[in-house]
Structures are given as structure tokens and as C-alpha cells.
Amino acid sequence: MTGVLYHSPSEIIAQMLDDLGLADLQSTGTGDPLTGWTVFPIHLPEDPEQALVVKDTSGRIHGRMQPTGVIGEHYGIQILARSSVDPVTPYKRVKLILEAFDTLVNREEVTLIDDNSVSRTYRVNAVTRVGPAVPAGNDGQRFFYSGNAVASIELVETEDEGSETGTGS
């Protein structure tokens, strides 16, 4: 199947942040994350105090390719950082990640396991920020900053189905 993602863009980007060493994916409870930051896809739990979440947001549709009918799409994502240290700490982490998108992401391969225990590999062709890191408020104890981007992601292979291509442009 062409153009299918078996994982949400936020799950793929969260794994990529872990692969690039910018954050550690969902702490396993074995102590502090190596980077000082734990990243969660979709939902940000109450703990740890210093954490990131990658959320899915509105992306961009670029039309349909003829004769295949595949629709070109860039998937929208938001990076949200929180910290109780000071307001500068989450700002610096979001800024670092947005700058890493500019310089490090070039056809990165990311592998995840789906609900059926099938290994799915995605190619993140590029992640393009759509603005700077911006303040996202506070909850009286912790400070929040966020940044938005669009990602070109395609499915490249699966354990059972061989090579596939997706909607990345």
C-alpha cells in the first residue's frame, strides 16, 4: 500500500529524536535519561519534570501526482518542552531541536514496531520548522516552550511486505 503510515508522525519524530541523541524516548524507569530530557509521543504525563512531547498538528497537502494518484503531504508536528528550572531551559531545548531539524535531518531512517509486532521503517526526508521557539505559558511550577514544523515522511519497508514508498515529498 502506497502512502500509508502505520505510526503517527509524532511517534516517528519522537523515535528520531531518540535516535539522534536529542532526547530519550519514554523513560523505562531505570533512572535519569542520558540527555536530561525524556520525549513522549502524543501525550505528556505529569512526570518527569523536564520533558518533551511531540504532538501531531495540521500539515500541508501538496496535491495529487498523476497517474499514481498519490497525494503529497507534509505532516505537521509540534515540539513542546517543559521544565521547572527556569523559562530559558525549555526554550533552549526547543531551539536546539528546531536547529537540529535544519542541520541533521536528511533522509533519516527510523524503525518502529507496530501493534502486530511488525517492524516498520520510515524515511524522514526533512523536517522544516515553520517558526521559532515560542513561549507556551506555565502552570505555576513549570515553564513551557513550543515549536512547530512540517515533516516529509514515507514508509520505506516492512518486515513482511518488502519495499514500499510513501507520500513524502
- For the stretch 23-60, pLDDT in tens is 999 755 555 667 789 999 999 999 898 999 999 999 88
Q: Is the pLDDT of residue 62 over 70?
A: yes
Mean pLDDT of 84-112: 95
What CATH class does 10-106+125-148 carry?
alpha beta
Rounded Cα distance between 130 and 142, Å, is 25
Q: What is the pTM of this model?
A: 0.85
At 17 the three-state DSSP class reads helix
At 129 the three-state DSSP class reads strand
In the chain, the percentage of residues whose pLDDT exceeds 70 is: 82
Amino acid in the structure at residue 142: R
Q: Is the pLDDT of residue 163 over 50?
A: no
pLDDT in tens, 14-23: 999 999 999 9
